[in-house]
Amino acid sequence: MALIDNMVGEVTPVVILGSQTASGGFVAGGGVSARQYTTVTNLIITTNGQGFTIPAGGKALVQNWDDEAIFVKLGGAVTTSDASFILQAGTAANDGKGGSYMIDDYTGVVTATAAATLRLNVALYT
């Protein structure tokens, strides 16, 4: 058999428009992009038990701005013994070293409390 017998007569180019996801699928349009939010509302919560609501499709970044732990509950009626997670205290009030958490997989009321002083910063994305 001659070398010429193994050659392909015609090559058809293939162009993939999109990018591959981690699961092996493809996303059309050039890539996966995060949802773009149109509004950011900033809140400071200072009353124990006070809350805010994350609407459908929204998310919230919460950060402790105080020097004691903050207890946060996805739902109402938060207490220091019934919370979804605890945000670490900062070294001092407003030092930017308090714990933070992005709530991006929940829709509904979020409440917060502390043993004494509560200073919870909320950036609500909708």
In 3-state terms, what secondary structure has residue 126?
A: coil
* Domains parsed from the chain with CATH numbers: 37-125 (2.60.120)
Please, what is the average pLDDT of the chain?
Answer: 86
β-bridge partners, 62: 101, 122
What are the tokens at 2?
A: 């001659």
Write the CA distances from 35 to 43, 104, 106, integer angstroms.
22, 11, 15
Instruction: Give the helix/strand (H/E) hosting 53.
Output: strand 51-54
Q: What is the pTM of this model?
A: 0.72
- CA 89 to CA 21: how far, in whole Å? 38
- CA 25 to CA 114: how far, in whole Å? 45
Q: Which of 3-17, 40-54, 70-84, 108-122 is predicted least confidently? A: 3-17
The band of 61, judged by pLDDT with boundaries at 50, 70 and 90, is: very high
